[in-house]
Each structure stands twice: as C-alpha cells, then as structure tokens.
Amino acid sequence: MPSQTHLKRPWLRYGVLAAALIACVVFSFWSPFTSSAPSGPDEADQTVPAAVKEPTAPVPSKRVDSGGAHANAPSDGGYAGVPYAKLSRFLGRLSQLPHYDEDRAARYLNYYGSTRYTDEQIVRLVNTDNDLVLFSDAVPAYADDGVLMLVNKYHEMADYEPDDLTDLPAGYASWGALRKEACEAYIAMADAAEAAGCPIFCNSPYRSYKMQQGIYNDYVNRHSLELADTYSARPGFSEHQTGLCVDITADDVEYTEFDQSDAFRWMQAHAHEYGYILRYGEGMEYITGYIYEPWHYRYVGVQAAAYIRSHDLTLEEYYYYFVAGGETPA
Ligand SMILES: [Zn+2]
C-alpha cells in the first residue's frame, strides 16, 4: 500500500545512515591498530617502545642517626619499613642531580618522603652538612683557606684574629677595618658605585670575638636564644670576625631595607666584579643558617664570586665542592 511504503522508507533510510555512521566510527578507531599491527618479530621490536627505566641507586644497609632535633631535622617520620625498591628509586632520582654524593646516601635517606624539601634541596643541604646538629657538631674553620675561609654554624673560629687588618678610610665607613685584600676591593667597589650614582656606605666591617660576644648577648637578653640565633651569630661563629665581610647601607634607606635601593640593584649587578657576594641570599636559609640579609656582603675574590653568582650557589656549596672537596670549577 502506497501509504505503508511511504511510511517504511524513511525508517530504512535512517537505519542505513546510522549503520554507515557506526561503521565509520568503528573503522576510524580500528584502522590505526590494524594498519600498524606488526607482521613479524622484527617489526614488533621497532614499533613497541621500550619501557622507560627509572634510575635507581644502591641503598646503604647502615642507617645514619640525623642527630636529633634542630632546624633541618627530617620531620616526616623517617623511612623505617619502606621497601628497598622505593628507597632505591628515591636515591636514583637524587643521583641525577648535580653533586650527588654516594658517600652521603644514608643521610639523604633521612629525608625520604619529606614534604618540606625538594629533591634538589635535600642534596644541597646534606652536602653542606646542614643535617647535622647546629653548633655542637661544629668543626674548626681554617684560616689557611684565606679569602675562601668558611665560617658558619658548623665552622667556628674561636678567638681568631686576622693579621692584616687595614682601616677603611673615612667616607667609606664610620669605623673599623677589613683584611687588606677585602679592604682594597671594597674601596674600588664603593668608588664605582659612587660613580654610577648609587653610593654605598659600610656600617659594620670587622668585628672581634669580644665585640660579637657583646652584640649576641644583648640580642639574647632582649629576645631569646632561638630567635637571636636566626639573625645574629654566636661569638666565634660570626663571619665578621674573618675581616672579610661588610654590612652596607645606602643614603635613602634603612639597612634592613637595603634591597629597596638603587645601590642594592647596582650591587646585584656588579659586586662580583670586585670579589664580593651577597652572602645570605633569599630562600637560602636552609643552607646558610641565616635569614635573608640583603646588606651583608662577603669578599671571596673575583673568580669565586663570579662562579657563585653565575651558578646560583652559596659559599657553603662552593667551599664543600671546590675548596675542601677538591673538585675543579667547570
Ligand atoms: Zn653582617
């Protein structure tokens, strides 16, 4: 009947269209596999990518006691009971980073699972002994290291006094002296800063053991031992006692806001040309042991200053790798 065929035809037409569409969709998904399906063992080797192998490293069987509670103590419960394969992969990951030290593997492991430090920070802080106990694990600082002498909360110098202290001329500082080489470099740097229209002024150079004792005790009395240790050095642990560092101010700012000044920006760009580095950089407290001090500069000589700056290192790292560690700067 004409009316019935008329009704059936649209249904058939849509049915055929739908079937064709489904076939297209199925084919388009299927075809890449069928067309690239390997036909023999040789071709299979070329088309199936090899599994990406995660780096691993040997896990030392002996654990190392991290020494108890202090600023950088691992706070995530250690790694007891963690399977060997996981620890091995953790060390494998760290071993891909610069300066990974196999001899310190057991100490890196103390930071397994840390949420506080990144892999890179773990390597950097253990390499610079910042996992040890502050002050009580300190070793003597070596004056024989000259202008690269390292003094921090792990390297103390007792009542050391440099033998070539040279007075800073009036106009460069309100008082005091520096070691000869650092003094000459400071004068050249201050002259250049002045010529560039960003004069700097030294308001604290060499400080003796006795002077530091007075300053530190005053801070402890005013605040607390814990707080004083974050911004002031204990006598025998102050870098100012080396005669190699300066606290700097600029005309228009308080010294604590030195990083707001043009003089600071000039120092950022040029201090290394005179052998000086910003010693306690922003975000580096876990290595240097001190909060960010934009005013505190340390003389290390032109070569070390340029390297430290261009590689974004701390003096601690430069010292461990290239002074004590015997590596040659690349
Ligand atoms: Zn200082």
Residue 123 pLDDT class (50, 70, 90 cuts) = very high
The torsion region of residue 269 among left (phi > 0), alpha (psi -120 to 50) and beta comes to alpha
pLDDT at 5 over 70: no
Q: Are residues 317 and 181 in the same domain?
A: yes
pLDDT at 37 over 60: no
Q: How far is the CA of 178 from the centre of ligand 1 (A)?
A: 13
CA distances from 278 to 10, 248, 315 (A): 83, 11, 10
Helix (H, G, I), strand (E, B) or coil at 162: coil
Whether 293 is catalytic is yes
Instruction: Share the mean pLDDT of the chain.
Output: 84
Residue where a domain terminates, one of 79, 114, 133: 133
What pLDDT sits at residue 53?
83
Decide if 11 is inside a domain: no
Per the model's pLDDT, the better-predicted residue between 130 and 9 turns out to be 130
Please check whether residue 234 is in contact with residue 135, taking contact to mean a CB–CB distance below 8 angstroms.
yes
Residue 255 pLDDT class (50, 70, 90 cuts) = confident
Q: Are residues 257 and 206 in the same domain?
A: yes
Q: Are residues 212 and 258 in the same domain?
A: yes
Q: How far is the CA of 240 from the centre of ligand 1 (A)?
A: 6
Q: Exposed, middle or buried: residue 242 (CB in 10 Å: 0-12, 13-18, 19+)?
A: buried
E-strand ranges in the chain read 139-140, 155-156, 165-167, 177-179, 200-204, 245-250, 276-278, 296-299
Q: Each residue of 198-221: pLDDT tens digit?
A: 999 999 999 999 999 999 999 999
Q: How far is the CA of 323 from the centre of ligand 1 (A)?
A: 23
Q: Are residues 129 and 245 in the same domain?
A: no
Q: What single-letter amino acid sits at 140?
A: P
pLDDT at 269 over 50: yes
- Average pLDDT of span 1-16: 47
Q: What single-letter amino acid sits at 247?
A: D
Q: How far is the CA of 129 from the centre of ligand 1 (A)?
A: 22
Domain tally for the chain?
2
Decide if 12 is inside a domain: no
Q: How far is the CA of 49 from the centre of ligand 1 (A)?
A: 57
Enclosing domain of residue 124: 44-133
Q: Are residues 74 and 193 in the same domain?
A: no
Q: Each residue of 159-197: pLDDT tens digit?
A: 999 999 999 999 999 899 999 999 999 999 999 999 999
Residues 6+ apart with CB under 8 A from 5: none
Per annotation, catalytic residue among 54, 156, 257, 293: 293
Assign residue 175 the CATH number of its domain: 3.30.1380.10
DSSP state of 104: G
Q: Are residues 232 and 283 in the same domain?
A: yes
pLDDT at 69 over 60: no
Per the model's pLDDT, the better-predicted residue between 74 and 138 turns out to be 138
Length of the chain: 330
Percent of the chain with pLDDT over 70: 80
Q: How far is the CA of 133 from the centre of ligand 1 (A)?
A: 23
Q: How far is the CA of 174 from the centre of ligand 1 (A)?
A: 15
* Window from 40-44, 57-61, 95-99, 114-118 with minimum mean pLDDT: 40-44
